[in-house]
Amino acid sequence: MLTIKILGSGCENCKRLAWLAERAVNHLGIEAQIIKVTEYPEIMKYNIMSTPGLVINEKLVSAGRIPSEAEITTFLTDALERA
């Protein structure tokens, strides 16, 4: 099972990223846990300059923008291959 973290304050961009990640997970039919990380000290552990951030299995794959659902799907399949 993959662990997906959405890094951000809970703004609209963060919510959209979480929604897109959930859609990608459902589209692939995989098991994944989506965690929203909103605490600033926790976010800073990933050394990002702007949110939203997307972390898959503790690897930062996107920061400061909202990747497309297709990009997220690619990130997820790459993570599955490494797992």
Residues with a catalytic annotation lie at: 11, 14
Neighbouring-strand partners of residue 63: 53
Bridging pattern class, strands 32-37 and 2-7? parallel
CA 83 to chain centre: 16
Name which of 41, 15, 52, 26 is nearest 2 in CA terms.
Answer: 26
